[in-house]
A and B are shown apart, each in its own frame.
Chain A
Amino acid sequence: MGFDQYHEPPEELGPEARTIARVFASLTEEAEAINWYEQRLAIEQDAEARDVIADARHEEYKHFAMDLELLLRRRPEWRAIAEGILFRAGSITANADAAEAESEDGAAQPDDPGGSLGIGSLRGS
């Protein structure tokens, strides 16, 4: 049985690395699903079928966002950069450059804008 989400030998990875790898795999699958539904909607003419496909795509939006949020919570440095880019008006590339510059300026490591220990919720742990 294959475990394609692992790039390195799984037995050498710790529990946290394996959890992160699983969530990365989920994130990729959700993005793929959104892409598939987008393409189906682009050609489907039946109104009822379109409703069903759009509803399914709506679910994948949620799943993708949950996976991304979990990863960002576990990686404060990544979150700090993402906060400079996501949900911001203006040029995406300009925002990205500014976020990257702030990060490389020593603000993200060890003193990132969030700066937290990344503990967050412990439900289920």
Chain B
Amino acid sequence: MNHLLRSHAPISDEGWALIDEEARQRLTPGLAARRLVDFGGPHGWTHSATSLGRVEAVGPVAEGVDVRRRRVLPLVELRAPFAISRDELRDGDRGAADVDLDDLDRAAQRLAEAENAAVFHGAPEDGITGIVPASPHPEIELGADPATYAAAVAHAVDLLKRNGLEGPYGLALSREEWTRVVETSEHGGYPLFEHLALILGGPIVWAPGVRGAVALSLRGGDFLFDAGQDIAIGYEGHDADAVALYLEESFSFRSVTPEAAVAIGSA
């Protein structure tokens, strides 16, 4: 047994399979960062820091002996608790096809949003500098008129190319921006989504937790997500009515080439 303590939970193997599969299905659509940045690991729960390959001087401890301290980026842990009714789990064991896992679904949504927000906007108090605050480029303004969208994205791609950053390029869109893009047709009825895809040469990603839009190079090596424990479900406790569980992951994130991304802000 490991730190997730799953075997302590009053959940059958079939119940765990149901819960794990539901979590995978609910998490995958929203984990936008994993579609756009480099993913390293998973290195396991005991992995606590990402090596940066750098040192800092801390002064001599003895005459003639210099000391340097290795710099590392600590991993952060994200945890999203949820509960499942034990009656529902029993019904699942009986073969019910409509087991109520709504609380798990909400937790999956929260975790995906938190992961995206950390990667794109950062969490300074946790040592994560997100893609947007790290980018040296001024934010490209996006007017209320959808007709300006393609020009704004083309401007972002042009900016990346002028900085010598090869494509293909990807675009992360907030929920609001994604809806705006997919429901817009340009003059002549050409879908905006397809026009943007032609400009980018890479994926347009629905990214809950992201504000506005972010265009970035997908050439690789620029944005590094380092996973310790990849997303897992653990056991917290239970009573006669419900089992308390949680979704958990640990990771670090760093922008190695901050100029490889451009933020596009909506008006």
Binding site for B on A (CB under 8 A): 83, 106-107, 109-123, 125
Contact = CB atoms under 8 A, between A and B. Distances in A.
B21 to A, nearest CB: 9
Contacts of A121: 34, 38-39
A125 B34 CA distance: 10
A118 B230 contact: yes
B35 A119 contact: no
B233 A117 contact: yes
Contacts of B35: 122-123, 125
A119 B13 contact: no
B48 interface: no
Given A118-B230, A119-B24, A121-B34, A107 B39 contact: no
Main secondary structure of the interface of A (DSSP, over half): loop
A100 to B, nearest CB: 16
Of B35, B36, B230, chain A has the most CB atoms within 10 Å of the CB of: B230
Contact of B39 (A83, A118, A123): A123
B171 to A, nearest CB: 14
B40 to A, nearest CB: 9
Given A110-B6, A115-B6, A115-B234, A120 B44 contact: no
19 contacts: A106-B1, A107-B2, A110-B17, A111-B6, A112-B2, A113-B44, A114-B2, A114-B44, A115-B4, A116-B231, A117-B20, A117-B23, A119-B28, A120-B39, A121-B34, A121-B38, A123-B39, A123-B218, A125-B35
Contact-residue size bin, chain B (C-beta under 8 Å from the other chain): 20 to 34
Contact of B230 (A107, A110, A111, A117): A117
Interface of B: 1-2, 4-7, 13, 16-17, 20, 23-24, 27-28, 31, 34-36, 38-39, 42, 44, 218, 227, 229-234
B233 A119 contact: no
Nearest to B6: A111
Given A117-B20, A120-B230, A122-B28, A111 B7 contact: yes
Nearest to A125: B35
Contacts of A125: 35
A116 B2 contact: no
Of B42, B218, B234, chain A has the most CB atoms within 10 Å of the CB of: B42
Nearest to A116: B230
Contact of A122 (B34, B229, B234): B34
Contacts of B31: 119, 122
Contact of B16 (A107, A110, A118, A120): A110
Of A113, A118, A121, chain B has the most CB atoms within 10 Å of the CB of: A121
Nearest to A109: B13
Given A115-B233, A117-B27, 19 more contacts: A107-B1, A110-B17, A110-B20, A111-B7, A113-B44, A114-B42, A115-B6, A115-B232, A116-B231, A116-B232, A117-B20, A118-B24, A119-B27, A119-B230, A120-B34, A122-B28, A123-B34, A123-B36, A123-B39
A32 to B, nearest CB: 29
